[in-house]
Chain A
Amino acid sequence: MSPLLASQIAAGEVVERPASVVKELIENSLDAGATRISVELEHGGIELIRVIDDGVGVPEHELYLALTAHATSKIAEVGDLDAIATMGFRGEALAAIASVSRTSFRSRPRTQVAAAEISAEGQTLSPPRPAGGPPGTSVTVRTLFFNTPARRKFLRTPQTEQGRCADVVRSIAMAQPNVAFTLTCDGRALLDLPPNQTARERALDILGRELEPELIEISADALDTLGTGGGTVGAAGASPIALWGLVGTPAVARATAAGQFVYINGRPVRDKVLQHALKEGYRGLIEPGRQPTCVLLVEMDPGAVDVNVHPAKSEVRFRDSSVVHGLVLRSVRRGLATADLTPRVAGAGSTAGASWNNRASGSAFESSPAPLGSPASPALFRPAPARTIDAAAFASAFREVRPAGNASLNFPALREALAPTRLAPPSGDASSENVPSPSASPAPLADTPATAASLPTVPSTGATPVPPAVGSMQSDAPEIEESLSPALQVFNSYLITQDEHGVLIIDQHALHERVMYERLLARIVGPDQRGEPGAVGVLERQAFLAPVPVAVTQRQREAAERLRPTLERLGIELDDLGPGGMGVRAFTSLLLERGVEPGEFVADMLERAAEEGWGTEGKAANAMPQPSPIDALVGERVVVEAVLHEVLDMMACKAAVKAGERLSDMELAELLALRQRIERSSNCPHGRPTSIRLSIRELEKRFGRV
């Protein structure tokens, strides 16, 4: 096999289309410590892709190596693979790109007086020649796939390819707020992101400023996950992990995952563990099939995550996925639980938010601007008095890199601190503005007690204990107080009332369903509402004189056996009555009180359980790709919890007041009072909204008062 052919085959994996070239080149620039990256495209990148950076550059005598396979300066030994902190590391990208295009590579290290350039066209490499240019590197890729016509044919229209390239730039730029990005397509500027932004500013620039009211800032660190009694485990197992993000309200959920930006150590990933945690976090808030809009930046010990799974590097493998899963799930849930998610009736002169919404979901609602919590609490990194040295050292390292007076984390700086192998920035001025203590000497992760003690802040004494982030968010956010006026019931289905933000229109069934659901859930999982199926509660059940018969198929019978323990917790006891039949021996008191017919309920439930495979291994395997003991545990929990939620959904729906049911004044008042007390009251367990709001401002506008 000729070297060219080998390269072309390898290129097939790495270089699929212009967007993959853009991705590889930008990652190279970032690894070179660039602070400004500009991307130019012509004809959607099919004719020309040029990426210019101000990174360290490649000396003239190494230019030739840059375009050769498996030549990388980023790792040298196998050991380095365990702690990959650079974006690229396989050393195959440039060679692969060069083998399928006409590539020219011009670079000038700061120490070199002039730039040098090398060109490649398929197999042939031209010798380096001098060229003019500023410090940094400029890579130009022309006529991609000129020598592999089959592949060139597979390219889509320039517009499509351009869109994909732009997605790549946005996706990478999201996690690099310190680096300036520009994107120019056929001479037109599409993106211009200034350097040294905070993660929040960068996210808003990319998602669109008009979405700001719809985004809830969340943050957490691994110390959250250690919990009580986890301290000793943490000594050996807990690897440092932190998270920052913006999660969108249900109103801006979209039909695809296009609004999702998920990163591990600055690397965009599409990971099943994280996806699942996100989905669980939004459970019952968005309708099935819709995807939340969110930005999630997870920072963790590079040694705790394997990114070398696939050449495109979008898949990762965690050493301990349950920690990551738990952290994301809890943070998202907490963020959503403390925000007011009531959608607002769209205004006449629809704002940018509404247009996003129409684009995203076709929904008529726009969301409430005011009540979302202000950014991350200062309590982000709690002191950990009783924790191990490792955790404490880590916590203080985090505190080091947190900018004073700015609630947002400086993530790139944090990553610097966590990533000893990353190339130093060319001049050291790149990100220091935001970093109070220079990160030139990165804080080692597995620190010794001595080092930890030498850090300015001693965790156990230096910081006063602060309430957890949730508490402070609540106090920051303008919570809706219990100031609801008496409600009016219309069409025996909707309640109309007011709060200080405007007129609320409430779907009585949806709201009561949510209320019932939360109450039942609280009864089942106990007071630990942190996302863990903690305390094992059971619901009261009433026995029957004789089992209520239910006709079942074989698959339904199997499902019933599978679900038996869960069902018993929920107060449903089933008997096998021989071929073709089962019997309900006891049934949840609450449902009986509400006039739910046990036979019908169980028949419906078993039908769905068999149809949808509740409680089967398959569901677990999907959620958790790699079986390790911990994953298996998480998987099992997830399965149990998923079944629990499904049955609770059904129970809540049956037990809730129906549309068309007349409610007494007392019932109305009680329902509204409950709305204040429960979490996630904005949506019913199926994700539909329970209430919409017509703001005072909107009313005034419609009546011409403003």
Chain B
Amino acid sequence: MKIIADRAALMEAANLVAAVVPARSPSPALSCLKLTAEKHGGVGTLTVAGTDAEASLEMTLTQVDVSQPGVAVVSAEKLKQILGAVAEGAPTITMELDGDQCKITGSHAKFRIFAFPAGDYPPFPDFAAAIGSATGPGAARSTFIHSAGGLLALVTRTVFATARETSRYAINGVLLKRDGRKIEMVATDGRRLALSRSTLKPQPAGGGAGGSGGESTPVSCIIPTRALNLLTRLAGDPEASVRIAVTDNRVFFAFYDVELKGKEGKDASGGGQSPRAILSSTLVEGTFPPYEDVIPKDHDKKATTGRDELSSAVRQASVLTNEESRGIRMTFSGKNKSVRLSSRAPELGDSEIDLGLTAYEGEDLTISFNPAFIADALRAVPEPEVMWEFKASNKPGVMKVGAEFLYVIMPVNLPE
């Protein structure tokens, strides 16, 4: 293998992919990146790939000049360090595989690092096979295309609400549900639940080539939180397409540089377009909690507030909370069209923040929440206004933004 690559592009890819690779592993080859240089019809590509037992990521660069195709497996950590250390002045770097050594040259610096045999690297899940065949073990149950921006919104509005550490494995991930053109994602940690919805554009015919109507099959699966956190770093142009494929035990996200239009041909990998990045992850096994039941429907009090104003008030009130006394009290007054946020930390002090409401309907109400739960949601929505719905101080509160976002928070009982 011998290539000349754009240093910045290679560094970006290496950094992203290295995030997948385990930093320490009993087998050193598993802490490596796999670099594959190819040449098709005079156009060279370099694919940087990494995997652990659960997730895998492949990124393909075109800013590369391949003089000799081949495969190099090198330490992810060292490659990152070298690319970062080479002077900014070097726009390109050269990599050349020589036996079990990989020579990296940039500007005035030369490095040699040990290269592992390509066969030592674990195999990658086969995206092409997943979308290309109708049956078989790796075949997709459902494939569909969504815009990168739409997918990103779905993920960022839910992934924060997943349980960080829990033995209830099923909620250590986000539920993805697709039925026709409707898609929704749901996450919960038992104390709050975030639900985000979106609508798919009409799917290009034959997008799931060979799939017997696979793109319209309803599907639901639980995707690990970690993979979704990686995903948020991969989305580029919001209008560009992401092709999503769900098999029996994996999910694939293939990111393209352009929007995939209908009738683009029969190329399984996206109508002549190669994906810029393919993220894949095993699915979380188990049953997601029956979340529809916990979404309250009998609210009789509604408040509307500015997102930034509420965010600021919550941040102020949470100054005087501590781990024993986490809650902030929200007292809604219809007459004043305002809400008072108050907090008290034993042996520290207390606070009161008044905030005007855009609108309030219903009787006055006092209810307490963990402020972190509110702040998390407010960070995830870009809209300037949020709406709240309540029933009683011991019943869940619901935050809504349009039809796309719904957030249920259970209250805390503050000591009187």
Residues of A that sit less than 8 Å from B by CB: 519-520, 523, 537-546, 548, 571, 586, 589-590, 592-595, 597, 599-600
The minimal Cβ–Cβ distance linking B373 to chain A, given in whole angstroms, is: 9
A594 to B166, CA, bound (A): 12
Which residues from A are CB-within-8-Å of B192?
545
5 pairs, CB–CB < 8 Å, chain A vs chain B: A542-B410, A543-B191, A545-B410, A546-B289, A546-B294
Which residues from B are CB-within-8-Å of A544?
190-191, 410
Which residues from B are CB-within-8-Å of A590?
323-324, 326
Chain B 176-194, CB-CB to A under 8 Å as 1, else 0, gives: 0000000000001011110
Interface residue B351 (Cβ < 8 Å from any Cβ of A): no
A540 with B167, Cβ < 8 A, contacts A545-B193, A589-B412 known: no
Q: Which residue of B lies closest to A545 (CB)?
A: B294
Chain B 362-380, CB-CB to A under 8 Å as 1, else 0, gives: 0000000010000000000
Told that A542-B191, A543-B191 touch, could you supply 13 new A-B pairs with CB distance under 8 A?
A523-B346, A539-B415, A542-B326, A542-B410, A543-B411, A543-B412, A545-B188, A545-B410, A546-B293, A548-B168, A589-B324, A592-B191, A595-B165
Q: Which residue of B lies closest to A568 (CB)?
A: B413
A540 to B368, CA, bound (A): 11
A597 with B166, Cβ < 8 A, contacts A539-B415, A546-B294, A590-B323 known: yes
Question: Are B190 and A586 in contact, with the CB atoms below 8 A?
Answer: no
Q: Which residue of B lies closest to A548 (CB)?
A: B190
Which residues from B are CB-within-8-Å of A537?
415
A276 to B293, CA, bound (A): 51
Which residues from A are CB-within-8-Å of B410?
542-545
Q: How many residues of B contact A (CB 8 A)?
A: 29
Question: Are B167 and A589 in contact, with the CB atoms below 8 A?
Answer: no
Question: Are A523 and B324 in contact, with the CB atoms below 8 A?
Answer: yes
Instruction: Indicate which residue in A540, A545, A600 contacts B324 across the interface (CB closer than 8 Å).
Output: A540
Interface residue B396 (Cβ < 8 Å from any Cβ of A): yes
The minimal Cβ–Cβ distance linking A541 to chain B, given in whole angstroms, is: 5
Interface residue B164 (Cβ < 8 Å from any Cβ of A): yes
A597 to B172, CA, bound (A): 13
The minimal Cβ–Cβ distance linking A164 to chain B, given in whole angstroms, is: 53
Interface residue B394 (Cβ < 8 Å from any Cβ of A): yes
A543 to B367, CA, bound (A): 12
Within 157-216 of B, Cβ neighbours of A (below 8 Å) are at: 164-168, 188, 190-193
Chain B 404-416, CB-CB to A under 8 Å as 1, else 0, gives: 0000101111110
Question: Are B412 and A599 in contact, with the CB atoms below 8 A?
Answer: no
Per DSSP, chain B at the interface is loop
Which residues from B are CB-within-8-Å of A520?
324
Question: Are B294 and A540 in contact, with the CB atoms below 8 A?
Answer: no
Question: Are B324 and A546 in contact, with the CB atoms below 8 A?
Answer: no
Question: Are B413 and A599 in contact, with the CB atoms below 8 A?
Answer: no
The minimal Cβ–Cβ distance linking B416 to chain A, given in whole angstroms, is: 8
Question: Are B188 and A540 in contact, with the CB atoms below 8 A?
Answer: no
Q: Which residue of A lies closest to B408 (CB)?
A: A545
Which residues from B are CB-within-8-Å of A545?
188, 190-193, 289, 294, 396, 408, 410
Interface residue B316 (Cβ < 8 Å from any Cβ of A): no
Which residues from B are CB-within-8-Å of A589?
323-327, 370, 412
A539 to B415, CA, bound (A): 6
The minimal Cβ–Cβ distance linking B366 to chain A, given in whole angstroms, is: 15
Q: Which residue of A lies closest to B293 (CB)?
A: A546
Which residues from A are CB-within-8-Å of B164?
595
The 6 A-B residue pairs with the shortest CB-CB distance in the complex, in nearest-first order: A543-B410, A545-B294, A589-B326, A593-B323, A538-B415, A590-B324
Which residues from A are CB-within-8-Å of B346?
523
Instruction: Indicate which residue in B167, B323, B370 contacts A599 across the interface (CB closer than 8 Å).
Output: B167
The minimal Cβ–Cβ distance linking B98 to chain A, given in whole angstroms, is: 41
Question: Are A541 and B412 in contact, with the CB atoms below 8 A?
Answer: yes
Q: Which residue of B lies closest to A538 (CB)?
A: B415
A542 to B323, CA, bound (A): 12
Which residues from A are CB-within-8-Å of B166?
597
Question: Are A540 and B415 in contact, with the CB atoms below 8 A?
Answer: yes
Within 297-348 of B, Cβ neighbours of A (below 8 Å) are at: 323-327, 346
Q: Which residue of B lies closest to A573 (CB)?
A: B413
A342 to B294, CA, bound (A): 52
Which residues from A are CB-within-8-Å of B294?
545-546
Question: Are B327 and A540 in contact, with the CB atoms below 8 A?
Answer: yes
A523 to B324, CA, bound (A): 9
Q: Which residue of A lies closest to B372 (CB)?
A: A593
Question: Are A519 and B324 in contact, with the CB atoms below 8 A?
Answer: yes
A540 to B325, CA, bound (A): 6
Q: Which residue of A lies closest to B369 (CB)?
A: A542
Which residues from A are CB-within-8-Å of B411?
543
Which residues from B are CB-within-8-Å of A600?
167
A607 to B414, CA, bound (A): 28
The minimal Cβ–Cβ distance linking A230 to chain B, given in whole angstroms, is: 27
The minimal Cβ–Cβ distance linking A553 to chain B, given in whole angstroms, is: 21
Q: Which residue of A lies closest to B326 (CB)?
A: A589
The minimal Cβ–Cβ distance linking A458 to chain B, given in whole angstroms, is: 42
Which residues from B are CB-within-8-Å of A595?
164-165
Which residues from A are CB-within-8-Å of B165?
595
Which residues from B are CB-within-8-Å of A546?
190, 289, 293-294
Chain B 236-269, CB-CB to A under 8 Å as 1, else 0, gives: 0000000000000000000000000000000000
A32 to B182, CA, bound (A): 101
Instruction: Indicate which residue in B289, B408, B413 contacts A541 across the interface (CB closer than 8 Å).
Output: B413
The minimal Cβ–Cβ distance linking A542 to chain B, given in whole angstroms, is: 5
Q: Which residue of B lies closest to A598 (CB)?
A: B190
Question: Are A543 and B415 in contact, with the CB atoms below 8 A?
Answer: no
A594 to B323, CA, bound (A): 9
A426 to B326, CA, bound (A): 72
The minimal Cβ–Cβ distance linking A650 to chain B, given in whole angstroms, is: 16
